Amino acid sequence: MKSQLQAWLPRIVLAPSFLLILLFVYGFIAYTGYLSLSDSRMLPSYGWVGFANYDRLFGLRHWKTALNNLWIFGLLYIGICTALGLFLAILLDQKIRGEGFIRPIYLYPMALSFIVTGTAWKWFLDPGIGLESIMHNWGWSSFDFDWIKNRNYAIYTVVIAAVWQSSGFVMAMFLAGLRGVDSEIIKAAQIDGAQSWRIYWRVIIPMMRPVFLSSFVVLAHLAIKAYDLVIALTGGGPGRATELPSTFMYSYTFTRNQMGVGASAAIIMLIMIFSIIVPYIYSELRSEKRS
Amino acid sequence: MSQSRSTQSSNRRVWLRALLYAVLLVFVVYYLLPLYVMLVNSFKPLDEIRGGNMLALPDLWTLEPWKAAWSSAQIGVQPTGLKPYFFNSIMMVVPAVALSTLLGAVNGYVLTKWQFPGHGLIFAMILLACFIPFQIVLIPMARVLGILGLAGSTPGLVLVHLVYGLGFTTLFFRNYYAAFPTELVRAAQMDGANFFQVFWRILLPSSGPIIVVTVIWQFTNIWNDFLFGASFADFDSIPMTVALNNLVNSSTGVKEYNVHFAGAILAALPTLVVYVVSGRYFVRGLMAGAVKG
Amino acid sequence: MKRAFGLMATSALVAMSFAANVQAQNVEVLHWWTSGGEAAALNVLKQDLESKGISWQDMPVAGGGGEAAMTVLRARVTAGNAPTAVQMLGFDIQDWANEGALGNLNDVAAAEGWDDVVPGALQNFSKNGGNWVAAPVNVHSTNWVWINKAALDAAGGKAPTTWDELVAVMDAMKANGITPLGHGGQAWQEATIFDAVVLSMGNDFYQASMIDLDPDALGGDTMVEVFDRMAKLRSYVDDNFSGRDWNLASAMVINGEAGMQMMGDWAKGEFLKAGQVAEEDFVCIRFPGTQGSVTFNSDQFAMFDVGMDNDSQKQMASSVMNPTFQSAFNVVKGSVPARTDVPNDDFGYCGKKGMADLAEANANGSLFGSMAHGHAAPASVKNAVYDVVTAHFNGEMSSEEAAEELAAAVADAM
């Protein structure tokens, strides 16, 4: 009897978390799926309309802009943060004097809420008062940096600010990974006469695979939820040029009283996210099991 | 690595080191710039901000914006500043962080040391929960909180943050415990330790680093959350970020940027302190497992 | 929906039995008036209620001109935890009333004779199915132009009264080397100008296109002309306009960097706060071609259904409608009172002008809800209009395309 209980105990202990997730995540996703097929406008309502909301969604120009922007933003953001984080971590791992001073500086942006750092960035990127005008004052009059005002480039300014916020965190993760590498391996490679960049490229970076997974999970999660950032920095403008699915969803669900369309946008977005993340997590977990 | 280099190349090495420091410093500037803008302008009178260069130091230093943001700025009907909301946030953050960390630890323990058929699927499902966009949970969550009688209360907010923090805390602890030698666990079991005793005596005492990581992560996220705080709080449980938003985002009034920046830094102070003070343990904690597979 | 509300009511009861500080005599107020002047003005109301023994529980949520507060409201109502009173604009009030969520203020309205003193165009929003559900606090009018006096003098000195005169003044300002039009490139600001331009095509056209949403008016030649004028105005804006907050645009006019700004009456506060005097440092006029007509938006306190005992709610509504409060609040807020019988002694030059314009427009039937501010059409239509106007203003389409797109987008949003 006692051993019976012992056998079930792990499952019982895990159960509350699992049930919470089941209800509050998967249950809510199912509920949203249902709303997306309903005629909900201001509050949920349960009249069945089939796929009309999806029809409507894909007829909207901004939705296409939002999807495009998510691709641009997501790829650049995750790519640059990972590359920059790894690069800075390798630099910081060279027995740097003052590491204890530099590290928190790289890390602190993650601690701030974008409700206001967005304002600081908005000023800085504004050609009238920010970088461009400073460069002009310093005599570099041909300097041109008006991306935030240009609807073809504004999304890249969102990337710049987002990278600022999270790349330090990724750096910390890689730094930890590098510190965890067995120094014997490096010594052995050095004895073989390999150059240090080669050691990094051939030996150490491949060992960082779990760090890539963790940072991918963290960054993908932040990219999908990027909302405050866009609102504070560009408000979705110029025009609607920096709309992301998260801002789109929010505006249709809550300010435009078209909850059905908002829900269908959410479902499409979830399908996209899961179709990228599920295979990735699956392959990582499998390779982990093998090793 | 540098010790192993021969002395002939020391010239080249000095040069490389200089370059290395230069690059690191460039990034120091990049990361500090927005904070610098906020700090400098928080000490200027409003007229100077309107007219002046945003990078320039104040001509006239003033502490008024800071005082205003903390204790006299208009957040609601009464000019209270951010002060009263600070406490509300603490009341919400502390239990939410503690509970989600504890549950994450237990989950990680079960998922690595007491694996049962289907544990991989369950982990994947918990992990995927990290990716749900918060906008879609607002309405159903409000309904559930209403049914539970937790609407507009601090316990309700704690529940919400607990649920949506579980994915990350479980991920962190699972990865950490995966690297923990299973032999030690088995040995303790042989000695007759039960499920909880193993956790309590063997794993928890060596979980310091990962607890630091998890607490920092959760503290930052929950402290900075706006959407849940605004939607599920009542007049007497409004958290700091909502108050800050009220200060900054007023629609048709005069925008006092200096007060806004001062307020923003005040609101971020607890997380900043946590980062700076525990930064060293943070990397150590990440090193110890959060990033290991 | 009914069953859902039943369920909510039950859960609300449960919630209430847990809440420690629920007494009969209090009001919880959800609003987004958090800037210094606004909140101070609201404090007048709070003190008035407290003198009657009603405690005020403050629930401010700022952001997006009330958008954040409306999101919060939805969560609150879904949770069965609705606030007592909520600051609301235009169609939101009707939407909530149609959901059956609002209370009834008929007793107090009848006792105090609101029907006689509140302009009819406002009553369309404060009443639902003939019942008073909200108490209007103010009327903002949106078709104002704020001009730097010195810049105007340098450009001929005569305030423009027609479109052609406006263009002439702006050309002169441009020749004088300043930005003629200080503007912030946010959708709602562009829509605010758009409202005024549509109205300048005539009251009938505004009624047909913005309120009746007549497809012929929305997609017709007059609308093409409206968009042409928007494009013309765009040419007087500096290159750096996009994303700029409206008050920074006001600052440009105050500094003389820009000649004028087209913005609602809340801009007045920025000028006064900068120590400027009406008619000496700045000039307030109606958008050329819209004299005698007013587009408005009105903040109201919608009262949620709190069951039988809504005495404190009625007290609050009564205090809101009190002429003394209406005067005190609106002097600070920059708007004008929501009732036409309030003395104008405490108001400044532009405020008095605004009150006179409102009374005149009300009498002539030329008082219209503002599209840009959610008083002409429901939120979905409003945002569809925003999309087109802002896309056109940012050069994404020609005027013909914009008119066509406008008709299509509005039809699609209804």
- Condensed to tens digits (0 to 9), the pLDDT of residues C110-142 reads 999 999 999 999 999 999 999 999 999 999 999
Q: What is the pLDDT of residue B52?
A: 66
* Residue from B71, C384, B251 nearest A258 by CA: C384
Closest partner residue to A254 among C67, C243, C393, by Cβ? C67
A235 reaches C (C-beta below 8 A): yes
CB pairs under 8 A between A and C: 83
Residue B174 is predicted with a pLDDT of 87
CB contact under 8 A, A221 and B131: yes
Q: How far is A222 from chain C (nearest CA, A)?
A: 21
Q: Is C394 on the interface with A (CB under 8 A)?
A: yes
Query: In this complex, is the C-beta atom of B146 within 8 Å of any C-beta atom belonging to chain C?
Result: yes
Residue B168 has φ and ψ, to the nearest 5°, of: -70, -45
Q: Is the per-residue pLDDT at C347 higher than 60?
A: yes
Q: What is the identity of the amino acid at B225?
A: D
> Hey, which residues 243-282 in chain B have their CB within 8 Å of chain A?
244-245, 248-249, 257, 260-261, 263-264, 267-268, 271-272, 274-276, 279-280, 282
The secondary structure of residue A284, as a DSSP letter, is: H
Q: Residue B113's domain spans which residues?
A: 83-290
| Distance, CA of C330 to CA of C38 (rounded, Å) | 9
C153 confidence band (pLDDT: 50, 70, 90):
very high
Q: Which helix (H) or strand (E) holds C128?
A: strand C127-128
Interface of A with C in 46-75 (CB under 8 A): 56, 59, 61-62
Distance CA A229, CA A227 (A): 5
Q: Give a yes or no: residue B77 inside a domain.
A: no
The answer to whether A237 contacts C390, with C-beta atoms less than 8 Å apart, is yes
How far away is chain A from the Cα of C322, in angstroms, using its nearest Cα?
Answer: 31
Q: Where are the beta strands (DSSP E) in B158-245?
A: none
Per residue in C313-341, pLDDT (tens digit) is: 899 999 999 999 999 889 888 899 999 89
pTM for the model stands at: 0.82
Nearest by CB: A238 against C70, C242, C387:
C242
% of residues, chain B, pLDDT over 70: 91
Highest mean pLDDT out of A282-286, B286-290, C30-34: C30-34
Percent of chain A with pLDDT over 90: 19
Residue C11 is predicted with a pLDDT of 42
**Range with the lowest mean pLDDT among A236-250, B94-108, B214-228, C153-167?**
A236-250
Cβ atoms B107, B129 nearer than 8 A: no
Query: Which chains are within 8 Å of A by 3+ CB pairs?
Result: B, C
> Mapping DSSP to helix (H, G, I), strand (E, B) and coil, where does residue C376 land?
coil
What residues are paired with A48 via a beta bridge?
Answer: A38
The CATH class of the C144-295+368-413 domain is alpha beta
For residue C259, the surrounding DSSP H or E stretch is: strand C258-262
Q: Which two tokens stand for residue C70?
A: 């409306």
Per-residue confidence band for A72, with pLDDT thresholds at 50, 70 and 90: very high
Distances from the Cα of B1 to the Cαs of A189, A208, A266, B12, B284, in angstroms? 11, 19, 50, 15, 20
Mean pLDDT of B267-272: 86
Chain A residues with CB-CB distance to B243 below 8 A: none
Is residue A168 within 8 A of residue A106, CB to CB? The reply is yes
In-domain check, residue B74: no
What residue type is C215 in one-letter code? P
Across chain C, what does the average pLDDT equal?
A: 88
C74 touches chain A (CB under 8 A): yes
- Chain A nearest CA to B218, separation (Å): 11
| C44 min Cα distance to partner chain A (Å) | 30
**Per-residue confidence at C13, pLDDT binned at 50, 70, 90?**
very low
A126 interfacial to chain C (CB closer than 8 Å): yes
Using an 8 Å CB-CB cutoff, list chain B residues near A211. 291
Between A209-225 and A259-290, two packed helices, what is the crossing angle to 10 degrees? 180
Indicate whether C176 pLDDT > 90.
yes
Cβ atoms of residues B146 and B83 within 8 Å: no
In this complex, the residue of B20, B54, B245 whose CB is nearest that of residue A115 is B245
pLDDT at B165: 92
Average pLDDT over residues C257-265: 94
Q: Residue B59 corresponds to which tokens in the numbers above?
A: 């001509």
In a domain, B280, yes or no: yes
pLDDT at A191: 75
The enclosing H or E element of C57 equals strand C55-60
| Structure tokens belonging to residue C288 | 């050329």
Q: Which residue of B has its CA nearest to C15?
A: B149
Name the token pair of C296: 């408005």
pLDDT value of residue A192? 73
Backbone angles phi, psi at C288, to 5 degrees: -50, 130
User: Environment class of residue C379 by beta-carbon count within 10 Å: exposed (0-12), middle (13-18) or buried (19+)?
Assistant: buried
Domains C2-140+297-363 and C144-295+368-413 share a fold: yes
Task: Give the pLDDT confidence score for residue C67 in this predicted structure.
Answer: 80
Beta pairing class for C294-297 and C367-369? parallel
Q: Would you call C159 helix, strand, or coil by DSSP?
A: coil
Which residues, including other chains, have CB under 8 Å from residue B155's CB and lie 6 or more apart?
Answer: none
Q: How far is B273 from chain C (nearest CA, A)?
A: 27
Residue C40 contacts B where some CB pair is shorter than 8 Å: yes
- Going by pLDDT thresholds of 50, 70 and 90, the confidence category of residue B289 is low
pLDDT number for residue C319: 92
Q: Tell me the C-alpha to C-alpha distance, in Å, between residue C270 and each of B75, B255, C184, C263.
A: 19, 9, 15, 12
**Structure-model confidence comparison of residues A201 and C97, the more confident one:** C97
Measure CA C31 to chain center: 14
- Which residue type is seen at C323? P
**pLDDT tens profile A141-191:** 777 777 877 778 888 999 999 999 899 889 988 888 888 777 777 777 777
Whether B174 contacts B112, CB under 8 Å = yes
Q: Which fold has domain C2-140+297-363?
A: D-Maltodextrin-Binding Protein; domain 2 (3.40.190)
Tell me how many degrees the CA angle C75-C81-C83 measures, rounded to the nearest 5: 95
Q: CB-based burial of residue C400 (10 Å sphere; 0-12 exposed, 13-18 middle, 19+ buried)?
A: middle
- Poorest-confidence range of A39-48, C42-51, C60-69? C60-69
Q: Is pLDDT of A97 > 80?
A: yes
B51 pLDDT more than 70: no
What sign for the dihedral angle of Cα B185, B189, B191, B192? positive
Asked whether residue B124 carries a pLDDT value surpassing 70, the answer given is: yes
Q: Among residues 127-156 of chain C, which lie with CB inside 8 Å of chain A?
A: none
Residue B189 placed within a domain = yes
**Angle ∠(B219,B220,B221) on CA atoms, nearest 5:** 95
Interface list for B 35-54 with A (CB within 8 A): 35, 37-38, 53-54
Please check whether residues B269 and B173 belong to one and the same domain.
yes
* Residues 204 through 243 of chain B touching chain A, CB cutoff 8 Å: 220, 224, 226-227, 241
Record the tokens describing residue C120, joined without a space.
């009819």
**Phi, psi dihedrals of residue A285, rounded to the nearest 5°:** -65, -35
How much is the pLDDT for B212?
Answer: 85
Residues of C whose CB is below 8 A from A234: 243
Kindly list the partner chains of chain C, i.e. chains with 3 or more CB atom pairs below 8 Å.
A, B
Task: Specify the pLDDT at position C19.
Answer: 41
Work out the minimum CA distance from C85 to partner chain B, whole angstroms. Answer: 13
Of C282, C245, C313, C298, the residue nearest C151 (C-alpha): C282
State the nearest Cα–Cα gap between C82 and chain A, in angstroms.
Answer: 14
The confidence score (pLDDT) of residue C151 equals: 95
Mean residue pLDDT across chain A = 84
Q: Cα–Cα distance between A137 and B106 in angstroms, integer?
A: 58
- B125 and B163 in a single domain? The answer is yes
Looking at residue B199, the DSSP 8-state letter turns out to be: I
Give mean pLDDT, residues B203-218: 86
Asked if A115 and C68 count as a contact pair (C-beta separation under 8 A), the reply is no
Question: Using 50, 70 and 90 to split pLDDT, how confident is the model at C160?
Answer: very high
User: Is the per-residue pLDDT at A3 higher than 50?
Assistant: yes
CA-angle at A45, arms to C18 and C130, nearest 5°: 85
**What pLDDT digit, counting tens, does each position of A37-59 carry?**
998 888 888 888 889 999 989 88
What confidence category does residue C17 fall into, taking pLDDT thresholds of 50, 70 and 90?
Answer: very low
Question: CB–CB of C99 and A255 under 8 A?
Answer: no
pLDDT at residue B7, as a whole number:
60
Confidence of residue A289 (pLDDT cuts 50, 70, 90): low
Phi, psi of B251 (to 5 degrees): -85, -50
Q: Under a CB-based contact definition with an 8 Å cutoff, are residues C159 and C147 in contact?
A: yes
Structural element, H or E, at residue C29: strand C26-31
Interface check for A251 against chain C (CB to CB < 8 A): the answer is yes
CATH number of the structural domain spanning residue B90: 1.10.3720.10
Going by their DSSP bridges, the two strands C26-31 and C85-89 should be labelled as parallel
CA separation for the pair C155, B202 (Å, rounded): 83
DSSP state of C240: T
Query: Reading across the β-sheet that carries C138-141, which strands appear in turn?
Result: C336-337, C138-141, C294-297, C367-369
Which pLDDT does position C8 carry in this prediction? 42
Compute how many other C-beta atoms are within 10 angstroms of the C-beta atom of residue B87. Answer: 11
Residues C148 and C150: their CA atoms lie apart, in Å, by 6
Question: Is this prediction's ipTM beyond 0.90?
Answer: no
Q: How do the domains of chain C map onto residue ranges?
A: 2-140+297-363, 144-295+368-413
- Determine the topology of domain A61-290 in CATH: MetI-like fold (1.10.3720)
Please give the pLDDT value at position B293: 39
- Distance of alpha carbon C271 from alpha carbon C275, whole angstroms: 7
Nearest-Cα distance to chain A for B236, in Å, is 22
Least confident of B101-110, B196-205, C13-22, C371-380: C13-22
Average pLDDT for residues B198-215, to the nearest whole number? Answer: 86
Distance CA C143, CA C49 (A): 34
Q: Does residue C92 sit at the B interface (CB-CB below 8 Å)?
A: no
Number of domains in chain B: 2
pLDDT at B182 over 60: yes
> What does the alpha-carbon distance between residue C107 and residue C174 come to, in Å, rounded to a whole number?
57
Q: Are B76 and C58 in contact (CB under 8 A)?
A: yes
The total of other beta-carbon atoms located within 10 Å of residue A164's CB is 19
Q: With an 8 Å Cβ cutoff, are C70 and A240 in contact?
A: no
pLDDT surpassing 90 at residue A26: yes
Task: Show which of residues 196-225 on chain A sit within 8 Å of chain C, judged by CB atoms.
Answer: none
Q: Please, are residues C237 and C181 in contact by the beta-carbon 8 Å criterion?
A: yes
Contacts of B133 (CB under 8 A, 6+ apart): A224, A225, A245, A246, A249, A266, A269, A270
